[in-house]
Structure 1
Amino acid sequence: MIDRVWLAGLLMSVAMVPAMAQPAPFDMTPESDLVEPAPTPSVPLPVETIPEPAPAGHSRFLLPTPSVRLAGEESRHAIVFYLTEAEAQSQARLQLSYLNAVVVAPEYSSLNFSINQTSVSRTPIAAASAPGAVSVDIPAGLLRAGANIIEIHASQRHRTDCTIQSTYELWTDLAAEGLQLTFQDPDAGRITQLADVSAVGVGADGQTRLRLFAPGLNDPQTMSAALRLVQQVAIALRVADPRIEVVDALSSAAEPGVLDVVIGTAASLPEELAEMRGAAGSGPLATMAVLDGGMPTLVLSGPDWSNIARTGAEVLAAAPASRPRVDLGYGAPLLEGGAQVELSSVGAGTVEFNGRRFTTRFQFELPPDFYAYRYGNAELVLDAAYSSDVQPGSEIDIYTNGQIASATPLLQTDGGLLRNTIIRVPMTNLRPGRNEVDIAVNLNTRSDASCVAGWTGQAPTRFVFSGSSELRLPDYARAAALPDLRLLTGAAWPYALEQDVPIVVGQDRESEIAALTLAARIATASGLVTPLSVVAETQLPPDRNGFVVKPASALAPDILSRAGLTDGRFGSTGRDSTVLDQFASGSVANPLPGPVAWFLDRVGLQLGDLRIVPERDQAISIATSVALSQARQPEGGLWTVLTAPDGGRLVSGVNQLIETRHWREINGRVSTIAPTDQTITATSAANPVLNVTSFSPANLRLVAANWFSANILMFTALIAAACVLLMTATSLMLKQLGRRQ
């Protein structure tokens, strides 16, 4: 009975399975993509007002070079930037991007910023794999109209290494496009008055460009005025190396670091400035105009060229050369003979240091007739101290213009106080114009020998440098040995001292741009305006100082020969030196025997120091290079020639020359640079002419000391002649004394 009931239940379960597995009933509703659904009644929605986006702000780039590298354990860099009154009052933000070496320890390294001596940001250096960003609001009232100074200080420590050598691996790079001030007011950067012309600033590449609109530059009168006015404008901008462009139309939109300059009579003003023709027709006009595109435009006009020439003085009166230059944040004072300067006043302040290699740098200027590079010593009066952890082998190194000048060991092993410690620095590497001095202190310590983890940043203070240290210069000779391009690039000497300087400029656009660029760069370096007047090549008087700016292919062979140059053409200098010198090795065999050569090397002399009759200057080839040459003519004039194989190379080459790193390398009688070169090739004059600027007995004695130091055989001959005269005089005197028997 039970089996039948169980079997009946099992059969009923099997019968119900198909019914349970049956699909869902067929859907009769239409497909959504075939039949549109019934419309939904529209219900009015509340309208939401979306505010318009705030207008874009105004940005100002700050770095006057394409990039800056902060190298070593302690590195500082200061720059000057100019602001309008509106920018100073506007809310501003500092923005920066940087990249650092992978060995920099972020927990012990920092990047610090201060504006007008007030700290605004301190951030760890931690951007080894990708650029790091810093953004900080500037406190209200910190910025000011006119000149402002921003200082960037990198304090860097190595991750693992405690040696002096490892400090050379530390660096942080800043790019010009990554350092800027952003202002909330988009119109804050409008330049409406001459006093704010320096606020043009620099562009994203660190450069300042002058777009010159001057119709009729091929006219000598127009070009002469443009050459003088562009110097005055360049000085007022307070930048180092402005680029010049000659344009046929004004800019349509504003660009950072770009200034339009209009030079011309009232009748030649462009249509955009037609409303100014009346004012320009009644007298000299120097004013800033802001056109529809926002581009700042400097207008220098008048009824005639005599009135236009007076407008440059108005620009300099409003923006004088006494204001700091943007690339000289710490300044560079002019040091006359017997002067001294405290290092804190030139950027080398007091520092407590716990690293391995302490470095600091300062700059100063010397007059163009500085003539003491063969004798004498400057004095660095050092105030410093070091701990007992410092061991023998530590030393203080002094570098002048990149060359080692002095090395002073630290001899005490129980710590020391260096108060009023005098370190004598030979003036061999000093030069007229701007000079750089680097102080490097290498510290060997007992604690660094173990170099435990974290010690690179946790070490206690081991060296203190005081900003009360001083540099003292002795009374030095005042004379100039010409030709020497350093006098031109540093002080526009002797051209800026004259009433009128003739210049030959090629009739092509490239020569005009090159001449304007060179004139502006000389002016920004010296702060002086050279009174240039354009003359024809045949009218350049050889008995006067003058300039020539032309491609070599357009220069007369006589001009090229007088400049001491050759472009490789047959007959350009009376001989084809390229063919004759094609197998030369480039070095002259030493004719002296080994012991004599060894002795000269030991006493620091060269074969040229032993010549009585100087060599003749050889022509320098400019087959692919731009050349800046200076030569004294037999008639008495000093000619400076800027040339290149063709016009295109002339413009690109002069833009290479005016870069600060190249400009400071220019010296001697000829300086050249090829398109692929990274440094200047300079050739000194074999027989310079000495020009004494002061004939006082004291100065003549100093001049003689320097001249005889460079002409050893002449000094030896003078001593021998003096000995012979003394012996002869003594013999004659003794013959007159005593009894004759």
Structure 2
Amino acid sequence: MPFAKLGLDGEYDRRSWSVYLTPEQAAAQATFNFSYQNAIVVAPESSQFAILINNRVIGQQPVGSPDGSSTVSFSVPPRLLQPGANLLTIEATQRHRTDCSVQSTYELWSDIDPAQTYLTFVGEETAKFSSTDAIRAIGVDGAGQTAFNFVVPALEQPGTTKPLLRLAQGLSILSGMPNQTVSFTTNSLPASSPGRMTVVVGTPSELQPLFAVPVAAQTAPLATFATDPRSGQTVLLITGPSWPAISTAIETIVSTTDRAVTVRRDALATQRWTAPDAPLIFSDRTIAFSQLGVKSTEFSGRRFRTTFNIAVPADFYANAYGEATVLLDAAYTQSVLPGSQIDVYVNGNIASTLPITAKGGGIYRHLPIRVTMRHFKPGLNSVSIETILRTEEDNVCVPGTAAGAGPRFALFDTSEFRMPDFARVGQRPNLAALAGTGYPYSRAASPTPLFIDRVDADTLSATATLLGQMALMAGRPLDVEPAASPGAIGERDAIFIGSISQMPQAVLSQLNIATTSQATWRPLAATQTTPSETNVMFDEWRSRVSGGVWQGQITSFQEWLRRNFDISLSSLQFVPGAEKVFTPSNTNSFMIAQGASTSGDATWTVVTAPSAKDLREGANAMTAQQNWPLIAGHVTTYSAATGKIDTVPVTRFDFVKTETWTLANYRLIAANWLSTNVLSYAVLLVVLSLLIGVATAGMLGRLGRRE
């Protein structure tokens, strides 16, 4: 399972993802095993799991393990598995033992243990990889993580960094897994285990103390799976008579993942953790729910929820105006009372509510539900539809009726999601676009300069992990070129990775990062507090005590403006304020920052930490599935002591042209900008009104007739 933890909540929940199998695994006898524990209030007689592989049910199990974990196994029918991707679905239907209220549905849960959930195969051949295509079948460990452990004796030699980083990106794309890490060592082979692949890279002479290289590698490039005679483990061996030959061997693996910058992809590859792949929407488009993985469902409970994914490009600029539309095909019975409702959530935020007001049941046929685009962000977005059903039977709640008698609600897969045309223009800085699609480096027509302060195992591991995640989101390896010095970068899009003490001061200053942090940023233990933090806390409490009433009134007024008019005080200004200098707190252990280059024509991204060890640990943590989407704004920081992620929002940004000039796009850009700058919009409206008045008066003075 590609998750650190998996919970199925409410009365209906369903999770689907794909598992890649080799031909040997697909042909073998297989068993699906899973372990779970559920809430004590779940009624086992009316609750069950259903396990599906390739849309075929292989087993059903009553949900009845409140006192501890229970393990369940189902045999996979012969010839059901296929070489390549196989769709795996876990579906849970849960009902409360005694309570019929909507609130009680939030008490229903079942936790699946990833460490005890897996497929097993009969036969030794299933554990062997016969071709490099089997990289896609690497899978995960018990914590839902995938690790590529590189063994490179010549790690710190000049000329090895670029091909190694390209290989790391290619492996990341091929595996497609959500929680990937890359590590480098020079002198030993790590022990093999599920979800971990050892990658041995070097010339025969470099590898001679570690691995017996085939004779063919003395004269030609070689990329293959090989067995270590000492440990018996299978490793991915990439070798050749020289490093240029090794680069050629790497290309035999990575070239299959290449995609020209000018070639537009249709979807974001997400099926390894949430199937199907999220369609990438660039303009006005309507997509049926059936294409989004939502199936027609009849429901007899009180709270029904289903989720699908869509993606938008990095230059999405429509978060202040406009609306998407859900064209709903659904039905409800006459037992459903007015006061029931259908809610739409985008990325966990409520985006629309449709009350059910009619009695006697009804059928919706392409009922339009307008959904604000405020909560959409570049890259992957989740859209959830939740239906709250209230009935007289639930109000009475006769004992034994909590499970429900018959369907009350039906959702049909002919429903559609419609995204209108939206403004498209890049923004600098925009870390959300970096996390969403690897922008702007994913669109670079020439190699991106990469400044690494020093090539050691920790720094290179952090760099490879980050680039691998960016490549996965970009859908192609990023073409990077290690830069010998910051001066060689010039005015180009660039990435700077390293410890804070080795970062060029000019780069930190340009990105409004305090240069004093090079000497003062030192992470503390979770129990320690710095004097400066104590002073800040003291000032906050003094403000609360002395000016609490006044501050509370201002806060209430701000909330009233936001709630009733969707206006923030930041929008009531003509010119955005200057970006404040940011100083990382000693509670932070990792930081990503982005800003404009010296001339303002390029984007610079800094990834830094107090030490190389912190850099590696921070990169591993931030690229985790649950953390990566939280990267946003101008600066994002991570604390290893608390696990907390903070962002500094963008105060001032520049537009970056990404599309050819069209009047329609500029109109949409202006609409979104004016929607976020209310004062400018009001002044413009007044000026235009005055101009119209003056023009009308002048025209009447010349052409009108006086009386």
Do they fold alike, i.e. is TM over 0.5?
yes
1:204 maps to which residue?
142
- When normalised by structure 2's length, the TM-score is 0.90
Distance (Å, rounded) in 2 between the aligned partners of 1:728 and 1:658: 59
Match of 1:6 in 2: none
Corresponding residue of 1:35: none
Q: Tell me, which stretches of 5 or more residues in structure 2 are unaligned? A: 260-266, 522-530
Matches within 5 A, 1:716-735: 716-735=682-701
1:241 and 2:179 correspond = yes
Deviations 1:181-230 (A, max 9, x none): 11121331211201111111111221111111123333452112211111
Contact 2:306 2:384 in 1 (8 A): yes
Shift of 1:429: 0.3
Specify whether residues 236 and 500 from structure 1 end up closer, same or farther in structure 2 by C-alpha distance, changes over 3 A only: same
Counterpart position of 1:672? 637
- Please point out which of 480, 495, 498 is paired with 1:547: 495
SS at match of 2:117: strand
Kept in 1: contact 2:285–2:420 (CA 8 A) = yes
Q: For this pair of structures, how many residues does the alignment match?
A: 676
Q: Which has the larger radius of gyration?
A: 1
Counterpart in 1 of 2:598? 634
| Alignment gaps of 5+ in structure 1 | 1-62
Counterpart residue number, 1:99:
37
Is the CA contact 1:567–1:645 (under 8 Å) kept in the aligned structure 2?
Answer: no
Inter-CA distance 304–414: structure 2 relative to 1 (3 Å threshold): same
Q: Counterpart of 1:171 in structure 2: which amino acid?
A: W
Letter in 2 for 1:697: L
Specify the alignment match of 1:585 in structure 2.
Answer: 540
1:503 is aligned to 450
Q: Note closer, same or farther for the CA distance 1:146–1:594 as it changes in structure 2 (3 Å cut).
A: closer
Offset from partner CA, 1:669-691 (integer Å, 9 cap, x none): 11111124444211111111012
1:154 aligned residue (58, 67, 92):
92
- Once the two structures are superposed, the pairs formed by residues 155-234 of structure 1 within 5 Å of their partners are 155-234=93-172
SS of the equivalent of 1:251 reads coil
Paired residue for 1:649?
614
2: CA distance, partners of 1:453 / 1:595 = 45
1:8 match: none
Asked if the contact 2:587–2:639 (Cα under 8 Å) also holds between the matched residues in 1, the reply is yes
Q: 1:696 aligns with which of 647, 652, 662?
A: 662
Out of 74, 79, 82, which is 2:17 matched to? 79
Matched, 1:125 2:63: yes
Q: Using a 3 Å threshold, how does the CA distance of structure 1 residues 86 and 249 change in structure 2: closer, same or farther? A: farther
* Misfit runs of 4+, over 6 Å: 319-324, 570-573, 576-580, 586-596
Instruction: Give how far 1:266 is off.
Output: 4.8
Q: Map 1:534-573; keep pairs closer than 5 Å.
A: 534-566=482-514, 569=517
Deviations 1:445-470 (A, max 9, x none): 01111212221224211001111111
How far apart in 2 are the matches of 1:594 and 1:112? 49
Deviates more, 1:561-570 or 1:257-266: 561-570
Deviation at 1:570, TM superposition (A): 8.5
1:64-99 Cα shifts (integer Å, max 9, x gaps): 112100001000011211111111111111111111
Cα distance, 1:560–1:699 mapped onto 2, change above 3 Å: same
* Aligned AA (2:447): D
Q: Secondary structure at the match of 1:204?
A: coil
CA drift at 1:566: 3.5
Moved more, 506-515 or 117-126: 506-515
Alignment of 1:307-386 (within 5 A): 307-316=245-254, 325-386=271-332
Taking a change above 3 Å as real, the CA distance of residues 638 and 669 of structure 1, as seen in their structure-2 partners, is: same
CA distance 1:518–1:312, change in 2 (3 Å): same
Deviation string, structure 1 residues 233-291 (Cα, Å, up to 9, x no partner)? 11111212211111224536531111111233454334555443643633x43222232
How far has the Cα of 1:554 moved from its partner? 2.7
Whether the 8 Å contact between 2:154 and 2:206 is mirrored in structure 1 is: no
Moved more, 311-320 or 181-190: 311-320
Q: Please give the alpha-carbon distance, in whole angstroms, between the structure 1 residues aligned to 2:271 and 2:249.
A: 22
Q: State the AA in 2 paired with 1:723.
A: S
Pairwise CA distance, 1:531 = 1.0
Q: CA separation in 2, counterparts of 1:595 and 1:668?
A: 25
Deviations 1:596-652 (A, max 9, x none): 757634312111010112112123332232111111123222111111122222221
Q: Identify if the C-alpha distance between structure 1 residues 593 and 234 changes in structure 2 by more than 3 Å, giving closer, same or farther.
A: closer
Partner of residue 286, structure 1: 223
Q: Look up the SS of the partner of 1:444 in the other structure.
A: coil
Distance 2:554 2:57 in 1: 63
Matched, 1:108 2:72: no
Between 1:511-520 and 1:677-686, the stretch displaced more is 677-686
Q: What is the CA–CA distance in structure 2 between the aligned matches of 1:449 and 1:599, rounded to whole Å?
A: 35
Aligned residues of 1:261 and 1:297 also touching (Cα < 8 A)? yes
Relative to structure 2, which stretch is displaced further, 67-76 or 636-645?
636-645
Query: What secondary structure does 2:127 align onto?
Result: coil
Normalised to the residue count of structure 1, the TM-score between the two structures is 0.86
Q: Structure 1 residues 63-72 or 611-620, which shifts more?
A: 611-620
Equivalent residue letter for 1:479: V
Residue 456 (1) aligns with residue 402 (2)? yes
Contact 2:510 2:598 in 1 (8 A): no
Q: CA deviation at 1:525?
A: 2.0
Matched, 1:389 2:335: yes
Cα deviation for residue 582 of structure 1 reads: 7.1
Residues 568 and 578 in structure 1, CA contact (< 8 A), matched pair in contact too: no
Contact kept in structure 2, 1:387 and 1:414, CA below 8 Å = yes
CA–CA distance in structure 2, aligned partners of residues 582 and 351 of structure 1: 52
Q: Counterpart amino acid of 1:640?
A: T
Measure the CA separation in 1 of the matches of 2:597 and 2:533: 24
Matched, 1:624 2:561: no
Match of 2:370 in 1: 424
Counterpart of 1:46 in structure 2 is none
Q: How big is each residue's C-alpha offset from its partner over 1:420-476, in whole Å with a ceiling of 9 and x where there is no partner?
A: 111000101001100000111000001111212221224211001111111001011
Query: CA contact under 8 A between 1:80 and 1:324: conserved in structure 2?
Result: no
Separation of aligned partners in 1, 2:201 and 2:464: 13
Instruction: Point out the more displaced range, 128-137 or 584-593.
Output: 584-593
Q: Report deviation, 1:491.
A: 1.0
SS at match of 1:205: coil
Q: Percent identity of the aligned residues?
A: 33
Match of 2:80 in 1: 142
Taking the aligned partners of 2:68 and 2:555, their CA distance within structure 1 comes to 56
**How big is the shift at 1:319?**
7.3
Q: Which residue identity is paired with 2:697?
A: S
Out of 433, 449, 461, the position equivalent to 1:513 is: 461
The C-alpha deviation readout for 1:80-137, integer Å capped at 9, x for no partner, is: 1111111111111111111100000000000110111111010101110011111121
697, 703, 706: which is aligned to 1:737? 703
Tell me how far apart the structure 1 counterparts of residues 115 and 520 of structure 2 sit (CA, whole Å).
46
Q: CA 1:344 to 1:679, structure 2 compared with 1: closer, same or farther past 3 Å?
A: farther
User: In structure 2, the residue corresponding to 1:157 is in which secondary structure?
Assistant: coil
Which stretch of the first structure deviates more once superposed, 234-243 or 355-364?
234-243
**Counterpart contact for 1:103–1:169, Cα < 8 Å:** yes
Aligned: 1:600 with 2:555? no
Which of 501-510 and 234-243 deviates more?
501-510
* Larger displacement relative to structure 2 (213-222 or 347-356): 213-222
Distance 1:538 1:599 in 2: 48
* 3-state DSSP of counterpart to 1:664: helix
Q: Are the structure 2 counterparts of residues 324 and 571 from structure 1 closer, same or farther at C-alpha, using a change threshold of 3 Å?
A: closer
CA distance in 1, matches of 2:69, 2:90: 17
- For residues 382 and 443 of structure 1, the distance between their equivalents in structure 2, rounded to whole angstroms, comes to 16
What's the offset of the Cα at 1:731? Answer: 3.3
Shift of 1:580: 9.0
What is the rounded CA distance, in whole Å, between the counterparts of 1:433 and 1:118 in structure 2?
31
Deviation sequence 1:525-583 (CA, Å, 0-9, x none): 2212111121234335351111111111332433332333347648889xx99899675
Aligned match of 1:530: 478
* CA displacement at 1:397 relative to structure 2: 0.5
Match of residue 712, structure 1, among 667, 674, 678: 678
